[in-house]
Amino acid sequence: DTGVSQDPRHKITKRGQNVTFRCDPISEHNRLYWYRQTLGQGPEFLTYFQNEAQLEKSRLLSDRFSAERPKGSFSTLEIQRTEQGDSAMYLCASRRVTDTQYFGPGTRLTVL
């Protein structure tokens, strides 16, 4: 399977803990996106990368959130000092320059 993969699929953590999610895009895709989706809503854009460069961050991405894409391959999204409001599905997507976005299965975060 050469689709977008995300790890872990589920994460339960206590408030105040740090968590890190990983996304592996389709290999030839140079653009990578992170979205957050809460129950009953569509995904909301968080940030995106062109190769290793982070080109835009949403205002939703507070200082507790950081994303990286070293060497333009996989990406990580870290949330520090988690809050209950961070509970959501975190989705990663990738695409080539002129192509549709392909989404991974998501990481469901529950903050207790």
Partner 1 sequence: KQEVTQIPAALSVPEGENLVLNCSFTDSAIYNLQWFRQDPGKGLTSLLLIQSSQREQTSGRLNASLDKSSGRSTLYIAASQPGDSATYLCAVGTDSWGKLQFGAGTQVVVTP
69 and 48 Cβ atoms separated by less than 8 Å: no
CB of 81 to partner 1, least distance (A): 27
HEC readout, 21-32: EEEECCCCCCEE
Rg (CA), the chain: 13
Shortest CB 41 distance to partner 1, Å: 5
Q: What are phi and psi of 65, to 5 degrees?
A: -100, 140
Least distance (Å) from partner 1 to the CB of residue 91?
6
Among residues 42 and 85, whose Cβ is nearest to partner 1?
42
Interacting residues toward partner 1 by CB under 8 A: 4, 6, 31, 33, 35, 40-45, 48, 50, 55-56, 91, 93, 95, 98, 100-106, 108
